Amino acid sequence: MSLKKRFTAGSCFSYIYLAVLCVMAIFPLIWLVVSAFKSSGEMLANPTKILPVDWTLENFKTVLFTLRFTVNIKNSLIIALATTVIATVISALAAYGIIRFFPKLGNIMTKILITSYMFPSIMLVIPYAVVMRNIHLTNTRTGLVLVYMSFSVPYAVWMLVGFFKTVPIGIEEAARIDGANRIQVFTKVVLPLVRPGIVSTAIYVFINAWNEFLYAMLLVSSSSKTTLSVAVRTLEGADILNWGSMMAASALVVLPSIFFFILIQNKLAGGLTEGSVK
């Protein structure tokens, strides 16, 4: 009896808490998307009114066709994807290497990696600017991807070490006996086992690369190469603001991310848990 009561009170609270949380979470999104359909005049004349009187697609048209945000969307995608693929490959190799070949040194290696994850990007950006100049990669997407390794690789190695730890060495030994070489063991035996971990790590890397702002703002100047976040920022810094376009542009930054998140939300959950809880 009392048990049941406790449970209902508990789940009642749970529903209320989550409902409040969800309203808080979704309200800014709704507000942003709806505002993007308002004419600029309406938005400024009555900022507290949520729903537009006249729905208009004008803002989206301006942003996509006049301001060519499609180019920025493409840039963000290319940069984030390239970062994800390269960083995940490098990190998977490193995480496996650390676990299997450097059991003692490995601990120090991960510590160094974690320490380097702490470097504030604001500190790194000036030296990077110099490095990029010396290797002629200033103002290129390649350069930006390279710089993104600095925060992606340490993080991904750290995460992946946890996953690779869970692979029993016996399986690998068996494969070796069957004549597979090291690299074959890695690709054919180990990788499939840690695939969920790799996927969720890759997703985190992608999200961080997609959202990155500081390096993208300071290291790339060509508008044909800038990322979506910087493009929105540039709009905001225009000397004649058009709030309608701003809202539409922001909506365009957010909506793809949200679809992506919903698509992969099952994978998101894995994240840190599977790796660290054994």
Residues 92-131 interacting with another protein (rule: CB under 8 A): 93-94, 96-98, 100-102, 109, 111-124, 126-131
Token digits of residue 243: 């709030």
CB of 15 to another protein, least distance (A): 7
56 contacts another protein (rule: CB under 8 A)? no
69 contacts another protein (rule: CB under 8 A)? no
CB of 55 to another protein, least distance (A): 18
Exactly one of 81, 189, 191, 214 binds another protein (CB under 8 A); that residue is 214
Return the number of the residue (192 or 277) whose C-beta is nearest another protein: 277
**Nearest-angstrom CA–CA distance, 34 and 31:** 5
196 contacts another protein (rule: CB under 8 A)? no
CB of 225 to another protein, least distance (A): 9
**Which residue carries 């600017």 as its tokens?**
129
Return the number of the residue (57 or 276) whose C-beta is nearest another protein: 276
Spatial CA neighbour of 227 closest among 40, 33, 83: 83
Mention every residue, 6+ apart, whose C-beta is less than 8 A from residue 155.
117, 204, 205, 208
Mention every residue, 6+ apart, whose C-beta is less than 8 A from residue 50.
30, 31, 34
Token digits of residue 101: 């070949």
150 contacts another protein (rule: CB under 8 A)? yes
Asked if residue 152 lies in contact with residue 205, where contact means CB atoms within 8 angstroms, the answer is yes
Asked if residue 152 lies in contact with residue 83, where contact means CB atoms within 8 angstroms, the answer is yes
Binders of another protein in range 215-274 (CB under 8 A) = 217-219, 221-224, 228-229, 232-243, 245-247, 250, 253-254, 257-258, 260-262, 265, 268-274
- CA 131 remoteness from chain centre: 25
Return the range that interacts with another protein (CB under 8 A); candidates 51-59, 138-146, 187-195: 138-146
